[in-house]
Chain A
Amino acid sequence: MTGNENFESRLLSELRQVAAENPAPSAQAARPKRYGRFAAAGAGLAAVVAGVAIYAGSGDNTTSAYAVESEPDGMVTVEIKSLKDAGGLERSLNEAGVPAEVNYSPVMATICAIEAEPGDNAKSDEKGFSKTSPLVETSGTTETAEATEALKTLPAMPAKAGALSETRTDADGTTFSIDPGTIKKGEKLYITTSGGGPKDAELAAAPTSVAISVGDKPADEDC
């Protein structure tokens, strides 16, 4: 923008450049804020029976097992801290505008993540999100602590272009963001567990890891 343009267009040109140099907000950038909120709610959490939803003033749906927060940029950030209360997480996601199905059922031997079409705003150079990463093998155990431990070692997954951010896993659990606008009609966010296999009876109480995908319902025969 040069030449016979006026002040407004020259200023716009400069401002466009400023905006272009700013990185798009990511789930990672949003983390400190969210943790601040958790810290503030900490005292309350201790006094509340596990599994009861705590409704923060900001409208976040938070339990000790998971957190769902709508970000200002329209993304929804999900943190899974332990593999409990699948129904609650599912409801919270639905309330946040993300059609979701959460299944922590231990009988699923393998997880199929259905490859979804990249969203409209997908960048062509981004890797499609298809099969989930190889998941952590653990010998099944009924200890919840073990399950949480397994969750911690979940490898980062590639992001589905435009819809899912990369998943991040640390001592507090697994976190990812999703843009509800990129989920097509009929598609859902699937959060499912996987483990060593149905023969592993003990797996029932200790899913070893979680798979996250967007798409049509995973078909059993593909697994």
Chain B
Amino acid sequence: MSNHDVARIGHDPDALESFYLDHVEEIERFVARRVSDPYLAADLTGDVFLAAIDAAGHYRSRRGVPRAWLFGIARNVIHNEFRRAGRERDAVRRVQGRAFLDEDDLSRMQERIDAEAVARELFRALGDLPDSEREALELHAIDELSPREVGEALGISPVTARVRLHRARRALRQTLEDETSTPTIRSMEA
């Protein structure tokens, strides 16, 4: 999908479909790396695309490729969910993603969530890093965005993104020296 088409996903169902099919899998994995409840994961997947529909009119290609833009949105959706967890848990969603889950979907969703267990562990290990560095490292090492895409998703320059990644890796290495290193964590330092 070209950058030009992204602006259309807000009101053109066909443009939306092509965009959705391109990205739904990686967004599901993105969500599964962060939440362990399959119902919530289904809701959040729906929320990410709804937010993209709402934000499509503000998409500016010069600020980033569509993928980085969508990951930026996904990150905000998850962030908002964690922030409101507990106080607005029952807030009414416009689209209840979980309503579309059947038995098969549920076990598939659960498998995906299980497969990302190591990543979620890693998130907890990242907890001590400053927010700006942790976010950059999450998107790069866990969600596999390039440093440039990390910059675009976070609204910072590629250079700043690289600096934050460097600092985050260094701080993480320091933290992990006291703990047992896992293969995933070693790969993050590569």
Contact = CB atoms under 8 A, between A and B. Distances in A.
A7 B102 contact: yes
16 contacts: A7-B97, A7-B109, A10-B100, A11-B42, A12-B17, A12-B20, A14-B100, A16-B17, A19-B11, A19-B13, A19-B53, A20-B13, A22-B11, A22-B53, A72-B59, A74-B4
Q: Which of A12, A18, A19, A22 has the most CB of B within 10 A?
A: A19
A25 interface: yes
Interface in B1-18: 4, 7-13, 15-17
A133 B45 CA distance: 49
B97 A23 contact: no
Nearest to B14: A16
Interface string B26-50: 0010000000000000100110011
A121 to B, nearest CB: 10
A117 B13 CA distance: 26
B60 interface: yes
Given A12-B17, A18-B50, A22-B53, 6 more contacts: A6-B102, A11-B95, A12-B21, A15-B46, A72-B7, A73-B8
Interface residues of B, number: 36
Interface string B53-64: 100111110000
A24 interface: yes
Interface of A: 6-8, 10-12, 14-20, 22-25, 71-74, 181
Contacts of A181: 4
B186 to A, nearest CB: 33
B100 A11 contact: yes
B104 A6 contact: yes
Given A6-B104, A15-B49, A73-B57, A24 B16 contact: no
B13 A74 contact: no
Given A7-B101, A8-B24, A22-B53, A14 B95 contact: yes
